[in-house]
Amino acid sequence: MTRRIILDVDTGSDDAVAVMLAALNPAIDLMAVCTVKGNQPLDNTTENTKKVLDLVHSDIPLYRGCKEPLVRNAAPWQVQFEDRATVVDEEGKKHFIHEDFDMLPASDRKIEDTPAPVFYSEYFKNKPEVSTSIVCVGPLTNLATALSINPDIVSNIEELVIMGGGDDESNATSSSEFNFFFDPEAAQKVFQAGFKKMTIIPLDCTHKAMVTKDDCKRFEEIGTPAALFAKEMCKKRIEVHTQRQPLTLPDACALHDPVCIAYLIDETVLTDVRFLHIDCSLSGLTYGQMVTDHRYFQDNRNAHIAYNGDRRKFVDIMCEAFKLNY
């Protein structure tokens, strides 16, 4: 079954792979891409996204979204993030995990005039003729703003798929994950909005759905522009993970965002999916933490949360899609 989606990104190394996978796999009908501030300022995430769409020859519309989170400007904290997500190579050169894509040609792709939250509001004002889902792999600012413009859109969205949060895992603070920490007020608004189906892919899952150096060799053998770009992104991520956040396999990285797309292609990529109540903390040390209620008697469940992922299926799905690039 084909899934029609709108993809919301803060491109970003792993966002780039999500964009390529969504654009290339025929099981995904990509309607639009929206950009938001997160891994980089909005201008940079938008430029990076334009270049990646060019790489896979996609002509789908691109919408610019929010320049700042709803409440708190995370810029001072962002500096620390860049410091922690940076590695030094053999030549002493510093690499940030989410750099500008200077290695790709500049893009003259047009950006739509409508801001992303207004686009969401207009697209979902009425039930779309073909059921459409939203996939958010950056901070949730665009969607939360759309919900402020028109809260009724929730009933016209088939499914909301989110990369974010962590139950046993965190990467921004001791208890929070980057996307939710970057705009916790937006995350809380989205969680409480009453979506028909909300699927969360947190770090608990993405840290298990790893990509290894051997998988990078497979990308290299495929040799298409998408495969080679994915290989470059993973190589850098493997360095950062090895030096800063080792996973359970050696020479491996998490490639968070494309797991959301892989799930829409083959839902068995996600394993150990639990239907729970979630919220987002807005206070003190736990600011930005995904709060999950595991109590048996909880009757206000709002999210399907993946706690594990099949990394081999995930990598196979990416390989199949990259072969379709030319």
Interacting residue ranges for ligand BDR, rule: CB under 6 A? 12, 14-15, 39, 137-138, 163, 171, 177-179, 256-257
CB atoms within 10 A of CB 297: 5
Q: Which is nearer to ligand BDR, 121 or 281 (CB)?
A: 281
CB of 33 to Ca ion, least distance (A): 12
Alpha carbon 257 to its chain centroid, in Å, reads 4
178 binds, among ligand BDR, Ca ion, none (CB under 5 to 8 A by kind): ligand BDR
- Pick out residues in 14-53 that bind Ca ion (CB under 5 A): 15
Residue 69 partner contact from Ca ion, ligand BDR, none using kind-dependent CB cut-offs of 5 to 8 Å: none
Least distance from C-beta 260 to ligand BDR, angstroms?
9
- Does residue 65 have a cis peptide bond before it, meaning omega lies within 30 degrees of 0? no
Minimum CB–partner distance for residue 166 and ligand BDR (Å): 8
In eight-state DSSP terms, residue 177 is -
Nearer to Ca ion, 222 or 241 (CB): 241
177 binds, among ligand BDR, Ca ion, none (CB under 5 to 8 A by kind): ligand BDR
The residues, any chain, with a CB within 8 Å of residue 219's CB and separated by 6 or more, are 227, 228, 230, 231, 234, 318, 319, 322
Closest CB to Ca ion among residues 61, 139? 139
Q: Is 7 exposed, middle or buried (0-12, 13-18, 19+ CB in 10 A)?
A: buried
Instruction: Answer whether 238's CB lies under 8 Å from 14's CB.
Output: no
Query: Which lies closer to Ca ion via its Cβ, residue 47 or residue 257?
Result: 257
Structure tokens at 104: 């790709």
Which lies closer to ligand BDR via its Cβ, residue 41 or residue 128? 41
Residue with smaller CB distance to Ca ion, 167 or 257:
257
| Binders in 107-146 for Ca ion, by CB under 5 A | 137-138
Our CB check for Ca ion shows the closer of 10 and 47 to be 10
Shortest CB 182 distance to ligand BDR, Å: 8
Q: Please write down the HEC assignment for all residues of 175-234.
A: CCCHHHHHCHHHHHHHHCCCCCCEEEECHHHHCCCEEEHHHHHHHHHHCCHHHHHHHHHH
Closest CA to 294 of 279, 309, 282: 279
What residues does 304 pair with on adjacent strands? 199, 275
**Least CB distance to ligand BDR at residue 11 (A):** 8
Query: Hey, what amino acid is at 298?
Result: Q
Least Cβ distance, residue 260 to Ca ion (angstroms): 10
164 lies in the binding site for Ca ion (CB under 5 A): no
Binding mask 228-267 for Ca ion (x = CB under 5 A): -----------------------------x----------
Taking the chain, what is the end-to-end CA distance rounded to the nearest angstrom? 24
CB of 300 to Ca ion, least distance (A): 28
- Cα–Cα dist 229/322, whole Å: 10
- Phi–psi pair at 124, nearest 5 degrees: -105, 10
Please classify residue 242 by burial: count the beta carbons closer than 10 Å to its beta carbon, then call 0-12 exposed, 13-18 middle and 19+ buried.
middle
Counting contacts by CB under 5 A, is residue 12 touching Ca ion? yes
Give the residues lining the site for Ca ion (CB under 5 A): 10, 12, 15, 137-138, 257
